[in-house]
Amino acid sequence: MANYEAVIGLEVHVQLRTRSKMFTRVPTGYGQPENTLTDPTVLALPGALPVMNRAALDAIIKAGLMLGCEIAPVCKWDRKNYFYPDSPKNYQISQYDQPICLGGAVEIELPGSARNVMGEHKHIPLTRIHLEEDVGKCTHGASDSLVDYNRAGTPLMEIVSEPALHSGEEAYAYLTALRAAMVQGDISECDMEKGQMRCDANISIRPVGSTELGTKVELKNLNSISYVRAGIDHEIKRQIALLESGGVIVQETRDYDGLTGASQSLRTKEMAHDYRYFPDPDLMPVRVDEAWKARLRATCPELPFDRQRRFFADYALPYTLTSVLVWDKPLADYFEEAVKLAGAQRAQPIGNWIVNDLLRELKAGGAGGAGGLSLSEVRVRPEHIAELVELVESGKLLSQAAKEVFAEMFATGESPAVVAEKRGLLAEPADASELEAWCRAAIAENEKAAAEFRAGKESAINGLKGPVMKASRGKANPKEVDATLRRLLAG
């Protein structure tokens, strides 16, 4: 078993988030009554013609720029000919020999040794990304089948990786990273349940050390990222077992059932289609010039891993915080807004508040508790977080009191200073002589701690702060207490 290496290439289809379809003005949509998002072009009525939707080309070029692809100077269209009822023209408009995006890579992170340890990073090279139109949907009954063309003609990009992945875990990491990039770039919502992102995997195995590729099996219908991981691992095991028992792997397409964890053959290579690709004479090639690319480049967001590296460098954030923030663009933007107000030196406490407290409240769904709020629905704004951190850092608010302030601020949307003031939680600017008296009393009553501190035991000072705070009924400014004690002990 340990003598084999799996080689995996993924073909990921991502629906582009455009208002209208790829080749007509009919709107895109999900969950509408059957065959309502149609027109002569979608239904391939006699005489209907396609006209390219520029927004779809924008989206794929942006995706290509984000993933470091080379953008072809001309967008050319081909027909992929095959008969199936979900394809109204019985050909699909696609890109064959000149995809709009070539090369590029998806950076992935494999699981670390522990949850708080960053895992290994890899760059999975891409072969190409091309644009095509989605097909409709068939529903098969006992004696007949129904077709819904609402999805037909939705812009779809196919992202083809090199055979450079080696496990279900890597595929999982690849899809996670790819999905985050596409969602953050506003290119697709990538909701796999709605079919906005779909994945086929080409899997082969070979003896470790071999450079030749084994016979590949295509795995289809992997309709969640977890199923992709499970399906690939299942297929690798199946192929190894087959070879070990003296069998031969045949080139075929298999259907993986995520519920049962089993796969079955759909068709073998002999039944493969000859798609008879040729340039679509109904569509003129479209030139993509530097200005077009520059306009889209300006709209590309920073990729999550790039942002994570910047968070390490600029804010010295720990891995655990960054690995939550960077995968959620609105949350990371929120974080950076707060940091901009409070200063980079306060980034970590800001991150803690957001990742620990804010996210917990979001998940709880606030007062209603009805399961999840989105960041945009929340009344706590980045300036509130910044102010809260400033209050704590300056010693005006104790951590314990700050928790209380946060909860109320989340509920009411009032600023932390107002909440703290209202609840009497702010540290009072103590009278200097009164504070000194409390400190002197504490030193006198705790000779042992005072002696230990003077002898160099730094932590012994904490034994003196407690009594001072107690004497002040919690309202002394901890920073002032610390400074006063040190002055007196040194004197």
Partner 1 sequence: MSTATSAPSALAPLHSQTIAELSARLVRGELSAVELTKAVIERTRAVEPQVKAFNSFDEADALAQAAASDVRRAAGEALGPLDGIPIGLKDVIAVRDQPLTASSRMLANFVSPYDATVTERLKNAGAVLWGRLNLDEFAMGSSTENSATQTTRNPWDLACVPGGSSGGSAAAVAAGQAIATLGSDTGGSIRQPAAFCGVVGLKPSYGLVSRYGLIAFASSLDQIGPFTRTVEDAALLLQAIAGHDARDSTSFNTQIPDYRAALAQAGKPSAWKLGVPKEYFGEGIDAEVSAAVERAIEFYRAQGCEIVEVSLPHTRYCLDVYYVLATAEASSNLARYDGIRYGHRAQGASDIVDLYFKSRAEGFGEEVKRRIILGTYVLSSGYYDAYYLRAQKVRRLVTQDFLNAYAKVDALITPTVPAPAFKVGAKADPLALYLCDIYTIGANLAGLPAISLPCGFTAGGLPIGLQLIGQPFGEAALLRIAQAYETAHDWHRRVPAL
Write the secondary structure of 366-382 as one string of H (helix), E (strand) and C (coil): CCCCCCCCCHHHCCCCH
Q: How far is the CA of 249 from the CAs of 81, 228, 235, 237, 258, in angstroms?
A: 28, 20, 11, 12, 22
Binding-site string for partner 1 from residue 89 to residue 128, where x marks contact by CB under 8 A and - marks none: xxx-------------------------------------
Given candidates 11, 48, 137, 333, which one binds partner 1 under the rule CB under 8 A? 48
Smallest CA-to-CA distance from 283 within 428, 447, 440, 79 is with 79
Q: Are 489 and 456 contacting, i.e. CB atoms less than 8 angstroms apart? A: no
Applying CB under 8 A, the span of 68-76, 84-92, 256-264, 372-380 interacting with partner 1 comes to 84-92
What whole-number distance in Å separates Cα of residue 461 and Cα of residue 297? 56
Applying CB under 8 A, the span of 88-96, 154-162, 360-368, 421-429 interacting with partner 1 comes to 88-96
Residues binding partner 1: number (CB under 8 A): 30
Applying CB under 8 A, the span of 4-12, 271-279, 367-375, 439-447 interacting with partner 1 comes to 271-279
What whole-number distance in Å separates Cα of residue 198 and Cα of residue 202? 14
Q: Are 208 and 190 contacting, i.e. CB atoms less than 8 angstroms apart? A: no
Please name every residue paired with 108 in a beta bridge, in sequence order, or none if there are none: 122
Q: How far is residue 114 CA from its own chain's centroid? A: 20
Given candidates 43, 378, 488, 489, which one binds partner 1 under the rule CB under 8 A? 43
Q: Are 304 and 327 contacting, i.e. CB atoms less than 8 angstroms apart? A: yes
φ, ψ dihedrals at 235, nearest 5°: -70, -40
**Is 141 near partner 1 (CB under 8 A)?**
no
Binding-site string for partner 1 from residue 220 to residue 259, where x marks contact by CB under 8 A and - marks none: ----------------------------------------
Given candidates 74, 117, 284, 441, which one binds partner 1 under the rule CB under 8 A? 284
Applying CB under 8 A, the span of 76-84, 205-213, 332-340, 352-360 interacting with partner 1 comes to 76-84
Applying CB under 8 A, the span of 47-55, 380-388, 397-405, 433-441 interacting with partner 1 comes to 47-55
- Write down the least CB distance from residue 242 to partner 1, Å: 29
**Is 19 near partner 1 (CB under 8 A)?**
no
Classified as helix, coil or strand, 163 is: coil
Q: 25 or 360: whose CB is closer to partner 1?
A: 25
Cβ–Cβ contacts within 10 Å for residue 266, how many? Answer: 14
Q: 25 or 123: whose CB is closer to partner 1?
A: 25
- Residues near partner 1 (CB under 8 A) are 40, 43-52, 79, 81, 83-85, 88-91, 145, 147, 274, 276-278, 281-284
